[in-house]
Amino acid sequence: MSDKNTRYAKVSMNTVWFSDGRLALRYQRLVRKARHAYEFSYWPTPFPNSGPSNGGLYVLALTTGMRQGELLALRWKDVDLEAASLSVRGTLTRSPDGLTVAEPKTTGSRRHVFLGIIAVDALRRHRVNQTAERLLKSPEWENNDLVFANEVGKPIEASNLRRRSFQPLLEKAGLPRIRFHDLRHSAATLLLTQGIHPKVVSERLGHSKVSITLDLYSHVTPTLQKEAAMALDALIAGSEEPLA
């Protein structure tokens, strides 16, 4: 896909294995806007392997567009797998007292997020793995009800996640170094290019105004405009009634 407004450099599909499934990532970089995006697929595997157990974290980041702090503050009590949804109620921040769960970034950040089958499946598998790890580490385990916790149940330090998990993950897959936040950009870009209404994308991301979403992802607009024109052409050409 290439025009004067949008140019992508593509890298072939890379696969990363987790203990609860495998995640295949195809890297895209928007050259003009210097943004990064991922296309992705997730295949559950019938048997666990020795890979890292945080696959659910990255699947959720890519399918919901949640901020890193929101993911690390997520508690099981705010997740309803039967209803395929979760509630964003806080964000993990560092204070003088250590890591704490603070109020979300904005009023719009406090939101209800519906989950797809891929995310629900990844979270179910993650919960099974986490339960096994908690039993193994008991009584060391500190029960904070966190969906994504460190090896003893405590909050995950964002810098540790990036240094010990995320960047090694990218390196192992042969992908360029990007920010964790670029997974959020990926979710937004994928939704918009699939024709999801910007208002819905804005609510899903927790933006306070839809104008923020439109400004941040203006690089997607030319492609959507072109698709809209083609769709209207097809509709008019296929109409049996003459235009008034």
Does 41 or 215 have the greater pLDDT score? 215
Mean pLDDT of the chain: 78
Q: What is the tally of structural domains in the chain?
A: 1
Q: Does a structural domain hold residue 2?
A: no
Do the domain assignments include residue 243? no
| 242 within domain boundaries | no
DSSP labels, 91-120:
EEEEETTEEEEE--SSGGGSEEEE--HHHH
* Residue 116 included in any domain: yes
Could you tell me if residue 161 is inside a domain?
yes
pLDDT, greater one: 154 or 44: 154
* Domain that includes residue 75, residue range: 8-237
Long-range contacts of 158-163 (CB under 8 A, 24+ apart): 158/68, 158/69, 158/72, 158/92, 161/68, 161/72
Mean pLDDT along residues 69-77: 96
Residue 80 lies in a domain: yes
Is 1 a member of any domain? no
Taking residues 30-39, what's their average pLDDT? 49
Closest CA to 36 of 161, 169, 162, 170: 170
- Does any domain span residue 54? yes
Q: What's 34's domain CATH number?
A: 1.10.443.10
- Amino acid 26: pLDDT: 55
